Amino acid sequence: MTYKEVSEMISGIGLPYAYYQFPDNTELQPPFICFLFSDDNDFLADNTNYQLIRTLIVELYTDNKDFALEQTVEDALSSSGLVYSRDETYIDSEKMNMVTYTTEILITKENDNA
């Protein structure tokens, strides 16, 4: 999967989204998504990063529990062939639910001929 394909998958969910965080002073009400690559677990061979392996975190923020919206995110991940773990937190200070999906992605280079 390319970085562009990851972004397209997130975009396809149909919610406002940003990488890591939205810019300061952004007036945005939930639901929305933030996603980021938290670390790597690359396969190293012959003195090179032979296969890039990135941990992708997708955070879904909602005002109230939204099972249907969570299913939409899960369907997007599954239809992209991603196996994920899921965690849920209530952020008291923000009065928001956050559902976090974590997966590993094999990153491929963008095809220059596409």
In a domain, 49, yes or no: yes
Question: Is the CA virtual torsion 109, 112, 34, 9 positive or negative?
Answer: negative
pLDDT of 114 strictly over 60: no
For the segment 75-92, the average pLDDT, to the nearest whole number, is 97
In a domain, 114, yes or no: no
Residues of the domain holding 95: 3-107
Q: According to the model, what pLDDT value does residue 113 have?
A: 44
Q: According to the model, what pLDDT value does residue 47 have?
A: 85
For the segment 73-99, the average pLDDT, to the nearest whole number, is 97
CATH of the domain at 35: 3.30.2000.30
In a domain, 112, yes or no: no
For the segment 26-31, the average pLDDT, to the nearest whole number, is 92
Residue 4, CA distances (Å) to 1, 9, 61, 97 in order: 8, 9, 22, 27
In a domain, 7, yes or no: yes
Give the span between the Cα atoms of 27 and 51, in whole angstroms.
39
Mean pLDDT of the chain, nearest integer: 91
Q: According to the model, what pLDDT value does residue 49 have?
A: 77
Q: Work out the pLDDT band at 97, boundaries 50, 70, 90.
A: very high
Q: According to the model, what pLDDT value does residue 52 have?
A: 85
54 - beta bridge partners? 40, 105
45 - beta bridge partners? 48
pLDDT of 86 strictly over 50: yes
